[in-house]
Amino acid sequence: MGIKILQDKCAGCTLCVKACPFGAIKMETKKAVIDLTACTLCGACVSTCKFNAIELIKEEAKSGTADLSSYKNIWVFIEHHLGEINPVSYELLTEAKKLSEDLKCEVAAVLLGDEKIENGIDELFSYGADKVYLSTHAEFKEYRTAPYTRTITEMIKKFKPEIFLIGATTTGRDLAARLAIRVNAGLTADCTGLSIDPKKKILNQTRPAFGGNIMATIISPNHRPQMATVRPKVFKRIKCQGAGAKVDIIKFDPVINKEDLVVKILGLIKDESIKVNLQEAEIIVSGGRGISDPKNFKMVEELAAVLSGAVGASRATVDAGWISAHHQVGQTGKTVAPKLYIACGISGKIQHLVGMQGSDTIVAINKDPDAPIFKIATYGILGDCLEVIPALTRKIKELRG
C-alpha cells in the first residue's frame, strides 16, 4: 500500500490538511505534501479531496504469482482488557489448534500489553499456543488502534503467518480491518465456521450472507495471511492435554510513531445499562413473538430465575420494543452457547439459529409443529408457551423444594 498526491490535480484547497487525523499533510508552494512516516494510510484525505488528487496505491498480487509458500503457521490475536484476557481468544486458540493438525503447522498467540501482561501467558500455552509473539510497552496497556496496528503489521511482515484469526468484538473488528489493508490481505468478517480444504490446504471461511439466507464459504487463495474474524462463543474453549509446559516466547520490539498516540484514553466508563451477560450464561430462556405480549416476558424471566439463567430474546421482540437489544440472540445480536437454551415462541429463522445453535441442549416450545426451531431442538414441546412456561416454572420450583 502507498499513497500519492497527483500534483497536476491538487488545487491547494487545504481540505486534506484539515481532514488528516495524524497531521501528516502540509502545504508546500500551494500543493499538498504527505509525510509518509506519519501517514497511516487511513484514507481520510482521499475521500475528502474534491479534485481526486490523492490516490491510495494497492499492491496487486497477481493470481498464482505471489510467493505464498513462505507464509506458515496460524496466529491468534489475544484480546484483553487491562490484562484480563477475553474468552474469545481462548476459543480461537482451541480452534486454531484443530486447524493446525490439518495444516501440520504451529499455533502462535499475538499478545500486546504493558509489562504486567506477561502474567497471563501460561494460560495461552494451555489453550494450544505453541509460541507467543509478545510486544510490551506502557502504551499497549489498553487497546488503541494506531499503535497496535502498526506493531502487528510489522510482526506480520517479519514472521509471515499463513492464517490470522481475530475475535469479532468491537476491538477485533477495528483491528482486523486495518491490518488487512496494511498487509494487502483479504478479510472475512463474522465467520461461524472454519475448516481447511483437504486438497488445496487453504482456509474455508464460512459466514452468513444475503441477510443470513445462505451460508457462504469464502477463500483467500492469492493473499496471505488468510484473515478472519470470529464471533465470541462460535467455538468452545478446551484446554489441551499435557500442554502448558512449553514456553516459547518471541519478544518483538514495539513499533510506535508519536502520531500513533494522538488518541488518549482519559478514563474507562462501565456501561451500567448492560445487566445481562448472555455470552457467559450457562442457561438461557429466550422469548419470541409467540409470547404474544411484552408483559409475558415476566413469565420468561421467572423461568430463567428458577434455573439461575439469563433472559434472551428474538429480534422480533427487540424490534417491537418488548425488551432491550442487550438480550437479542442471533446474527445481529449475541452468539451464545449455553448448556441449556429454551426457545419460547421463537420460529427458528436462520438469523436466530446462527446465534444459538452451538448450545449443548436446545428445548423449543412452539405451537406450530412445522416451526424450523424443531429441526435443531434436542427436545420439542408442541404447545402454547403461555401455558407451558408457567407449568415448567412451577414443576422446577417443586422439584427444588
Ligand X SMILES: Cc1cc2nc3c(=O)[nH]c(=O)nc-3n(C[C@H](O)[C@H](O)[C@H](O)COP(=O)(O)OP(=O)(O)OC[C@H]3O[C@@H](n4cnc5c(N)ncnc54)[C@H](O)[C@@H]3O)c2cc1C
Q: Residues forming the annotated binding site?
A: 289, 314-315, 328-332, 345-352, 366
How many Å is the Cα radius of gyration of the chain? 24
| 172 counts as binding ligand X under rule CB under 6 A | no
| 296 counts as binding ligand X under rule CB under 6 A | no
CA-based end-to-end distance of the chain: 67
**Residue of 105, 228, 316, 363 that binds ligand X (CB under 6 A):** 316
Residue nearest ligand X, Cβ-based: 330
Give the nearest distance from C-beta 215 to ligand X in angstroms: 14
Q: Tell me the C-alpha distance between 163 and 309, whole Å.
A: 37
Work out whether strand 226-230 and strand 107-113 pair parallel, antiparallel, or are unpaired.
Answer: unpaired
Edge-first strand listing for the sheet containing 131-136: 187-191, 226-230, 163-167, 74-77, 107-113, 131-136, 249-251
Of 205 and 366, CB closest to ligand X:
366
Sign (positive or negative) of CA dihedral 141, 142, 147, 148: positive
**Per-residue three-class SS string for 117-182:** HHHHHHHHHHCCCCEEEEEECHHHCCCCHHHHHHHHHHHHHHHCCCEEEEECCHHHHHHHHHHHHH
Binding-site residue numbers for FAD are 289, 314-315, 328-332, 345-352, 366
Of 107 and 385, CB closest to ligand X:
385
Q: Which three cell numbers stand for residue 369?
A: 409443529
Of 231 and 315, CB closest to ligand X:
315
**Residue of 351, 377, 392, 393 that binds ligand X (CB under 6 A):** 351
**Residue of 86, 135, 328, 359 that binds ligand X (CB under 6 A):** 328
| 290 counts as binding ligand X under rule CB under 6 A | yes
**Residue of 333, 336, 359, 362 that binds ligand X (CB under 6 A):** 333
| 384 counts as binding ligand X under rule CB under 6 A | yes
Among 54-62, 110-118, 255-263, 326-334, the segment contacting ligand X (CB under 6 A): 326-334
| 349 counts as binding ligand X under rule CB under 6 A | yes
Q: Tell me the C-alpha distance between 115 and 118, whole Å.
A: 6
Q: Which three cell numbers stand for residue 349?
A: 429463522
| 353 counts as binding ligand X under rule CB under 6 A | no
| 215 counts as binding ligand X under rule CB under 6 A | no
Q: Which stretches of the chain bind ligand X, using CB under 6 A? A: 211-212, 288-290, 292, 314-317, 328-333, 345-347, 349, 351-352, 355, 365-368, 371, 384-386
